[in-house]
Amino acid sequence: MRLALAEAEHATLTGDVPVGAVVLGPDGEVLARAHNEREAGGDPTAHAEVLAVRRAAEALRAGAKPDGDDRGAGWQLTGCTLVVTLEPCTMCAGAIVLSRLDRLVYGARDPKAGAAGSQWDLVRDRRLNHRPEVIGGVLDTAASALLTRFFRPPRY
């Protein structure tokens, strides 16, 4: 989570909401890191989670060994863990499910838009074909503090 928090700090440099994400491989190795880049890139889908999932899939594809059957190699993040500073929204929760991540670890709850238990529980919906393990509240005070500082109105 500390790596995700450090990544979140980078988002503020471009005026983006400070959310950071890291994808860990089955062995705990860091496959990808990302922070929100919606403002920086003018892309409404450039949430930290989506960018980290994309980069992790790219990293897995780059490291795939050609053995004659690479169907689906690189896009399924089976065995991987996504660590993110804020509870994912519905878009990111959908990406988590569709990428087959085994585990979601998040920091601060999002009572307005959280889709891992706060507003919705998309990641654990029994109607879906994949449901990752969810661990929330990890270093939530630090993650919440980043967001509070960002949204606090300036004092004059």
Cα–Cα distance for residue pair 48/23, rounded to 1 Å: 11
Distances in whole angstroms, Cα of residue 46 to Cα of each of 17, 41, 50: 11, 8, 6
Annotated binding residue 80: no
Q: Is 10 annotated as a binding residue?
A: no
Q: Is 89 flagged in the annotation as binding?
A: yes
- Residue 128 near residue 155, CB atoms below 8 Å: no
Active site residue 39: no
> Is there a contact between 9 and 18 (Cβ–Cβ < 8 Å)?
yes
- Rounding to the nearest 10 degrees, give the CA dihedral for residues 77, 56, 16, 105: 40
Annotated active-site residue in 39, 49, 58, 87: 49
Question: Annotated binding site for Zn(2+), which residues?
Answer: 47, 89, 92
Question: Annotated binding site, which residues?
Answer: 47, 89, 92
Catalytically active residues are: 49
